[in-house]
Amino acid sequence: MATLKAIRRRIASVRNIQQITNAMRMVSAARLRRAQEAAEAARPYAEKLEAVLHNLAGQSQTLVHPLLTKREEAKIDLMLYTSDRGLCGSFNSSLIREAEAFINAHPAQEVTISCVGRRGFDYFRRRQAPMAEEHINLGGKYTSALAHDIGLRMTERFLSGESDGFYILYARFRSALVQVPTLDQVLPIVPQEQDDADAVSLDYLYEPTAQGLLSRLLTRYVDMLLYRAMLESVASEHGARMTAMENATNNAVEMIDTLTLDMNRARQADITRELLEIVATGESLK
């Protein structure tokens, strides 16, 4: 059995860890609220813009645009959203597994990785995967300007033929306990298929013309998808970290209780041994 001094030192160490994890939990909880509000506020605009553009893309017989051109995917761009820091449970590992599954599902294609977040970048850099660009050490401070810059470069790669498809992989926020890895195709824009049972075709009136509106909105649509993925990823990261730190704090409390019980047992054993020694000494002096 460990000595009292060693157990006390272990309890002090675990208590310090508990204070750190509890502080990180509270910080993530405060940041999660703002990040969740930002992600949820962006969803209605993103969904409506997506619906309008898919409706436009469905008019393929009258509308033509290079970003609507679907071709055989020999080269694919995949943008992976992870965090810069760890201590957030399985948040990063689940996204990296999904990215590897995507690469393994396209063995005949050349998949080029672009990373937002250090964890994904470090993982694929160590494995010498083809990489186009990285955005790391931003501390989760993603802006619409950054999304616009990324969108311009990825669109240019698609138009120039450097890639035949552009996908993004991020964690969609549902709650602090649930973050769903989500894969979205950004380019080319493909019309959504509707079932005949619930297909209610909306006939929009476009002014001045559908073709002119399509050209203007396509760039904004790409930027919107990238920025929405950033907001969802930040909210998911804080939710995962808050949950992980809460579990770590609870585990520390349980460990302190167990160590305290061990310390009391060790102290009782020392007292019992000293009493036995006193009694044995008294008996030997008679």
Active site residues: 88
Burial (CB < 10 A; 0-12, 13-18, 19+), residue 125, is: middle
Give me the residues paired with residue 170 across strands: 182
Handedness of CA 218, 220, 225, 226 (dihedral sign): positive
210: helix, coil or strand? helix
182 three-state secondary structure: strand
Residues listed for the chain: 286
| CA–CA gap between residue 50 and residue 47 (Å, rounded) | 5
Contact 52, 210 (CB under 8 A): no
Q: Are 167 and 102 in contact (CB under 8 A)?
A: yes
